[in-house]
Structure 1
Amino acid sequence: MTADNRPSLLSVRPLTIEDAEAVVSLSTQLGYPSDAETMRGRIHQLAKSRDRIAFVAVFENAVVGWADASIERHLQSPEVVELGGLVVQEGHRGLGIGRRLCEAVEEWALQQQIPRVRVRSQIKRQDAHRFYLRDGYVHIKTSEVFEKRLD
């Protein structure tokens, strides 16, 4: 049975500061370790922005996934909501939890009157690529990412 078939056991709600420790654990599974204090600071900053949102999936009273998104505005292109991160706890994947988190982000995008959601995914995350394609996302380009440290 999937989480989608047991809606009373699965809920998706906005992220709160109390979710910090669960989000740290999930972020580590995604490959981005952190600590609870740092995460609480990030959640606090996110909550102050009208252009950002994060949701958690709660299954059987435990946080088992999260997604965050932001509105991206650039001169050269229309606004888009970018799904910045999505993770579902190992052992709970394949139950429809990721889909429910994406739906929450998509609903938020429409509430912001932005009809597109974009996601960037590392080339090594083949399982994630298959998930997004199954969920209706279309692969539109492949690019390189460059970063310059300023510290």
Structure 2
Amino acid sequence: MSDSLAGHPKVTSHAPTFTVRPMLLEDAKEISVLSAQLGYQASSEAIAQRIVQMSSHTGSHAAFVTCMQSMQADEVIGWIEVTIMHELQSPSFALITGLVVNDAYRSQGIGKRLCAEVEAWSREQGVAKIRVTSRIAREDAHRFYLREGFERIKTWAVFEKMLS
């Protein structure tokens, strides 16, 4: 039997290949673009400085990216950041401080894969609990976290004071 129908060659679709790896300094530009999608504007230079700063906290802080492999290069299409919180009033826990997947690649399991990476890293650090905070208006994110097994435990206000 022929691989074509009515004279047209058979088209095979290949699902994109995604990989997860630790964030690198050279990811700064793409991280900056994704951070803007999350609602946080930061230049690639500022992101690069933050990546350097966080690299000195490897046992208590980590960041991972998801890359889509293409013929040209690996494109960063999502990232997640986690830190270990040590508090007097409660046992230590991992806190997801940021998670974003490029708008064009959402609902493909990428956020789930990034969360799994954080879970594995947190276990390696000896932490038994992961928390995440999310703005009240981000209802899609809330549904995602609930699907991933997170439980809503409180609602709070966040206060900030700028130091000059």
Shorter-chain TM-score tier: over 0.9
For residue 38 of structure 1, what is the aligned residue in structure 2? 46
CA distance in structure 2 between the partners assigned to 1:15 and 1:74 by the alignment: 26
Which runs of 4 or more aligned residues in structure 1 lie more than 6 Å from their structure 2 counterparts after TM superposition?
Answer: none
Structural RMSD (CA): 1.3
For residue 96 of structure 2, what is the aligned residue in structure 1? 83
CA distance in structure 1 between the partners assigned to 2:151 and 2:143 by the alignment: 11
Match of 2:63 among 54, 76, 92: 54
CA distance in structure 1 between the partners assigned to 2:76 and 2:101 by the alignment: 9
Instruction: Point out which structure has higher relative CO (alpha carbons under 8 A, 6+ apart).
Output: 1
CA distance in structure 1 between the partners assigned to 2:153 and 2:134 by the alignment: 12
CA distance in structure 2 between the partners assigned to 1:149 and 1:143 by the alignment: 20
CA distance in structure 2 between the partners assigned to 1:125 and 1:150 by the alignment: 28
C-alpha deviation, 1:91, in angstroms:
1.1
Residue correspondences, number: 146
Where 1:74 maps in the other structure, the secondary structure is coil
Cα offsets for 1:74-100 (capped at 9, x unmatched): 000000000000000011000000000
Specify every segment of 5 or more residues in structure 2 that has no aligned partner in the other structure, as ranges: 1-13
For residue 155 of structure 2, what is the aligned residue in structure 1? 142
**How does 1:108-147 map onto structure 2 within 5 Å?**
108-147=121-160
TM-score by length of 2: 0.86
TM-score by length of 1: 0.94
Amino acid corresponding to residue 67 of structure 2 in structure 1:
V
Match of 1:68 among 81, 86, 89: 81
Aligned-pair identity in percent equals: 44
C-alpha deviation, 1:36, in angstroms:
1.0
Q: Over alpha carbons, which structure has the higher Rg?
A: 2
CA distance in structure 2 between the partners assigned to 1:38 and 1:142 by the alignment: 31
CA distance in structure 2 between the partners assigned to 1:34 and 1:114 by the alignment: 30
For residue 114 of structure 2, what is the aligned residue in structure 1? 101
